Amino acid sequence: MEAVIRNFNENGFAILRGVLEPVTLEAVKHECEVLVAELATHRYAEGKLTDTYPDAAFEIRLIRLYENYPDETPTIFRSELHREGFFGMFAHPALLELAGIILGPEIRLYPNYSVRPKLPENRRTEVLWHQDAGYTSKEADVLRMMNVWTPLVPVNVENGCMEFIPGSHKWGVVPHEKDEYYLRIHDDYIKPVEADAVRIEILPGDVVIFSNLMFHRGLPNRASHIRWSLDWRYQDATQPTLRTTHGHLLHSQRAPDMIVKDAKAWAQLEFS
């Protein structure tokens, strides 16, 4: 635990291997499969499919559903995540314990939690160099946060793993520009350090925690399967979110009655 905290503070990130048990991963994967099945039914009803590919593998099925409509592929699920199977991941005891050490006892799930199905060779899924704080505001360097990213398939350079610039969390919020689909860090800030990028090649069950100020990107997927992943963030709940949304309280000493207490309660809430 000490090494994890030291890496998080000094480099801006730390990898934790094998933290998530198969039961947690399976519950999340099951919910993702249900989501995909719902999309298949919907597209079939719309007349955009002649087959719903029920037997296609998890890493492939979405590709089939959108084969003839690359501009319609989903790139991110957010409001869809209030289903019971996601709670065990977002409220995982080991992650909340770590967040407690880094952030203190008041912990909210920040209103930025996602599942990303990164489809191959689709520019809409290539997340450019950015800081998460860059999407929030220039003042977001005051936010005390612990960001989390984890894959549902093994990730590597070929299928679009994350890349980080170690130490970049110490440089404040830098200027971002709007590109076609995402914000990107201004060239003056990323070009001089781009060669220092480290690849985060990890397996299902592993997580990487990182700073809200970390320079990072998600590489393009050049494999022939989907790179499924989740990302979410914990924040010191005594602070404002600096967004119009409020997130959800997961741990609290001062208002224990206000926390999301279990998967059923989570499923009744909304992305907010």
Binding residues (CB under 6 A) for ligand AKG: these are 116, 118, 127, 132, 149, 160, 162, 216, 218, 229, 231
* Shortest distance (Å) from residue 212 CB to ligand AKG: 9
CB within 8 A of 248, min separation 6: which ones?
A: 108, 109, 260, 266, 269, 272
Q: Are 91 and 260 in contact (CB under 8 A)?
A: yes
Q: Are 236 and 104 in contact (CB under 8 A)?
A: yes
Sign of the dihedral defined by the CA atoms of residues 169, 229, 162, 77, in that order: negative
- Nearer Cβ to ligand AKG (12/218): 218
* Shortest distance (Å) from residue 149 CB to ligand AKG: 5
DSSP β-bridge partners for residue 108: 235, 249
Question: Which residue's beta carbon is nearest to the bound ligand AKG?
Answer: 218
* Shortest distance (Å) from residue 119 CB to ligand AKG: 12
* Shortest distance (Å) from residue 118 CB to ligand AKG: 6
- Nearer Cβ to ligand AKG (49/115): 115
* Shortest distance (Å) from residue 263 CB to ligand AKG: 23
* Pairing outcome for strands 183-185 and 176-178: antiparallel
Angle at 40 between CA 34 and CA 43, to 5 degrees: 140
* Shortest distance (Å) from residue 262 CB to ligand AKG: 26
- Nearer Cβ to ligand AKG (98/127): 127
- Nearer Cβ to ligand AKG (53/149): 149
- Nearer Cβ to ligand AKG (61/118): 118
Sign of the dihedral defined by the CA atoms of residues 212, 140, 184, 89, in that order: positive
- Nearer Cβ to ligand AKG (108/216): 216
Of the candidates 128, 100, 125, the residue with the CA atom closest to the CA atom of residue 229: 125
- Cα 103 to Cα 243, 267, 272: the distances in Å are 19, 25, 21
